[in-house]
Amino acid sequence: MVIGVLALQGDVREHLHALNAAGASAIPVRRPAELAAVEGLVVPGGESTTMSRLAGVFGLLEPVRARIAGGLPVYGSCAGMIMLARTVLDGRDDQQSFGGIDMVVRRNAFGRQVDSFETDLAFTGVDGDPMHAVFIRAPWVEQVGPGVEVLARVDGGVADGRVVAVRQGNLLATSFHPELTGDLRVHELFVRMVREAAAGPTKDVQEKEEAVR
């Protein structure tokens, strides 16, 4: 199973390491031909406006959008969450996203670099203790559509209740950086999502689809 990490800008190496440790074969993706070879994709943290511009320069905007529309599992962390949002607040006028998740995201919602912080979060879909989360110039989710599952919210402080992790079908996004903590549970969740997508729908799902038809 091959999972790509969009390698235009940001913390690419950390995601490659975490994916390999979580049981995947991880490769950097910079070209459409490399994108075509993967079964899942991670869009890393970094600077979303730079990532948007470089995705256009490298001819990846439309291919990534097409793969998302075709069901490719994609995980975005921090800037990657912004890139997966259908609506971005406080972005540049020329900023483009891949879209896919029916959510409104506010860019740099938690403040500037000096406002970066760490906290523990309850995270739906993973076992064990609360997840230690690192926020660096992070976005948050202001609104989600009916098909989006909220996985984590900030507990306490001025951002109490803010949504910081979501899932919609094969798409996963977090405001924070699990690749920086050594906790592999988010990457393990994503690897499971990729495996399930590659295996196709279960018998129960197929029977339900046939009944609808």
CATH of the domain at 9: 3.40.50.880
Query: What amino acid positions are annotated as catalytic residues?
Result: 78, 177, 179
pLDDT in tens, 70-112: 999 999 999 999 999 999 998 777 789 999 999 999 987 776 5
- Cβ neighbours for 15, distance < 8 A, ≥ 6 positions apart: 5, 26, 42, 44, 77, 179, 187
Q: How far apart are CA 98 and CA 168, in angstroms?
A: 14
| Counted domains in the chain | 1
* Prediction pTM value: 0.90
* Mean pLDDT comparison of 3-7, 119-123, 197-201, highest-scoring range: 3-7
Query: Which domain, by its residues, includes 177?
Result: 2-212
pLDDT at 49 over 70: yes
Find the mean pLDDT for residues 153-182: 92
The three-class DSSP label of residue 25 is: strand
Question: With pLDDT > 70 as the criterion, what percentage of the chain qualifies?
Answer: 91
Window from 11-25, 167-181, 193-207 with minimum mean pLDDT: 193-207
Find the mean pLDDT for residues 119-138: 92
The three-class DSSP label of residue 77 is: strand
> If residue 87 lies in a helix (H) or strand (E), which one and from where to where?
strand 85-89
The DSSP secondary-structure symbol of 61 reads H
Residue 137 pLDDT: 84
